[in-house]
Amino acid sequence: MAQAPLSEDEVRRRTIRRADFVSCDQAFIDCRTPGSDQKQNYAMIGPGVSQSSGQFVNLREPHGFNIGAAAMPNGVTNNLHLHFTAEVFLCFRGEYLLRWGADGTDGELRLREGEVASIPSWTFRGFTNVGPDDGWLFTVLGRDATGGIIWAPSVLREAAGHGLYLTSGNQLVDTVAGDVLPPEDELIPPLTAEQIAQLRVYSAEEMRDRVAGREDLSWSDTPFLDSRLPGGGARLACVIGYGLTQDRFQHPVIGNPHGHTIAWLSGLPGQGVSRHRHGASQVLLARDGEWEVTLNAPGEEVSVRLGPWDMLSVPPGAWRRIRSTGAQDASMVLITGGDGRVCPEWAPEVVDEAAAAGVAVDHDGYLGSAALVPGPR
C-alpha cells in the first residue's frame, strides 16, 4: 500500500479549485436543440461521457470513476439519454426536475439542494433546471471507461436537423462547422421500438429509493477509530456503499454496486479525520466551510486548504489527515473507488491513543472494545 511522498507540485496538480472549472457548451449532440442549447458541461476527473474533442478535463488520471458537472439556466433541459455505468447526481445548488423512460413519461421527481440521486444504468433519464439560473449538479460516473451514452431516438432526429450526428465511436460530427458526414453505417442509429421495449421500467417509488435527502441520511458520531480523539470527531453518513465506515451499525442509503462509494463527512471547527491511508483512489469534494488536508508522513507533510466546491484527488496508499478549519460546521463528499468496504490503516500514534481510550479495530474492520479485541490488529 505504500505510496511515495507527494511533492508540493503533485499535490497542486491534484487540487482542482472551483476557479479551475472549464465549461464546454458543445459537449453533446443536443447542444443546438432549442431549450437545451444553454447547457454547460464540465469534466474535472476523467472525460466522463463528453462527446466533444474540445472538452477540457482537469485531471485525466484514471480513478475508477469520473467526476463532472452540469450547469444550465432555469428552464433549460438535458435531454433523454441512458448510461452503461452508474450516474450519480449531487445537487449543490438549486432544484432540478428529473424524469425517466424512453419518452420521459415513466416518472419524475425533484432533486433539491443537498440531495443525491443515483439513476440506474440502461434507463433513459433527463433533467431540467426548475430552480435559479445558477443551479449546479455534480455528476459521478462509474468506472474509468463508461462506454458513452445512448440518446433517445427523438433527440437524435432533432439533432440531425441541426447538422449534428454521432459516430459509432460516440464522437460528435458537426456538419455546420464543416465536418464531413460519415457513411450511414458508421453512425449510431436510433434504438428501435423492440430494443426500447426490452428496457426495465422503474416506478416513482423505486426511483425515490435511489434518492438520499437530508431526512434519509443516517449519521454516525463514531464512524472511525479516532472519533473520540483530539483531531478526530468527524461525523459520517454513507450514501452509496459502505465506503470507509467502521461503525458496524451504519448502513448506506443506496447499496447496489456503482464502481465507487459516496459518503458525506461533516466536522465542527477543529474536528476531522486523523492520519490514515487506504488502497483506493479517493476524491475529497468540499461542499461548504473550510478544510485542511495534510498528506504524507510526519517530516514530509504537504498541506492544502479546500474551500467550497474545491476538490482534491488522493492516490491509493497516500497518508492523509483531514481537518475542518473554518468558523462553522463544514461538510464534504468522500468519493472512493471500488464497490466494497475500504478499511483504513491508521497511523501508529492513532492506534495507540485509541487503545488508551479503550477502542480498537476488530478483525472485521469495525470498532470494538480494546479490552476484548486480541492483537495484533
Residue 327 domain flag: yes
Are residue 186 and residue 39 in the same domain, yes or no? yes
Are residue 206 and residue 224 in the same domain, yes or no? no
**The predicted structure's pLDDT at residue 61:** 96
> Over 80: is that where the pLDDT of 181 sits?
yes
pLDDT above 90: percentage of residues in the chain:
88
The last residue of one of the domains, among 212, 247, 269, is 212
> Over 90: is that where the pLDDT of 324 sits?
yes
What 8-state DSSP symbol labels residue 187? B
Q: For cell 503533485, what's the residue?
A: 10
> Over 60: is that where the pLDDT of 377 sits?
no
Residue 354 domain flag: yes
The last residue of one of the domains, among 212, 238, 273, is 212
pLDDT above 70: percentage of residues in the chain:
99
- Averaged pLDDT of the chain: 95
CA angle 17–130–171, rounded 5-degree value: 60
Say how far apart CA 221 and CA 182 lie, in whole Å: 58
Are residue 85 and residue 189 in the same domain, yes or no? yes
> Over 90: is that where the pLDDT of 27 sits?
no
Are residue 201 and residue 233 in the same domain, yes or no? no
Are residue 208 and residue 223 in the same domain, yes or no? no
**The predicted structure's pLDDT at residue 54:** 85
Are residue 106 and residue 193 in the same domain, yes or no? yes
Are residue 310 and residue 334 in the same domain, yes or no? yes
Strand 272-277 versus strand 320-324 pairing type:
antiparallel
Tally of domains within the chain: 2
User: Three cell numbers at 252?
Assistant: 448506506
**The predicted structure's pLDDT at residue 32:** 85
* Domain coverage including residue 97: 15-212
Are residue 303 and residue 258 in the same domain, yes or no? yes
**The predicted structure's pLDDT at residue 1:** 65
CATH number, domain containing residue 83: 2.60.120.10
**The predicted structure's pLDDT at residue 3:** 81
Long-range contacts of 344-347, Cβ-Cβ distance < 8 Å, separation of 24 or more: 344/224, 344/225, 344/244, 344/246, 344/276, 344/277, 344/278, 345/1, 345/276, 345/277, 345/278, 346/225, 346/226, 346/274, 346/275, 346/276, 347/274, 347/275, 347/276, 347/319
pLDDT digits (tens, 9 = 90+) for 326-369: 999 999 999 999 998 999 999 999 999 999 999 999 999 999 99
pLDDT, average across residues 10-35: 91
> Over 80: is that where the pLDDT of 252 sits?
yes
Q: How many CA atoms lie within 13 A of 323 on its CB side?
A: 14
Are residue 273 and residue 128 in the same domain, yes or no? no
Residue 377 domain flag: no
- CA-closest candidate to residue 111, choices 70, 153, 154, 64: 70
Contact 203, 218 (CB under 8 A): no
Say how far apart CA 341 and CA 343 lie, in whole Å: 6
pLDDT digits (tens, 9 = 90+) for 164-177: 998 988 888 989 98
pLDDT digits (tens, 9 = 90+) for 264-289: 999 999 999 999 999 999 999 999 99
In sequence order, the β-bridge partners of residue 293 are 304, 322
pTM score, two decimals? 0.95
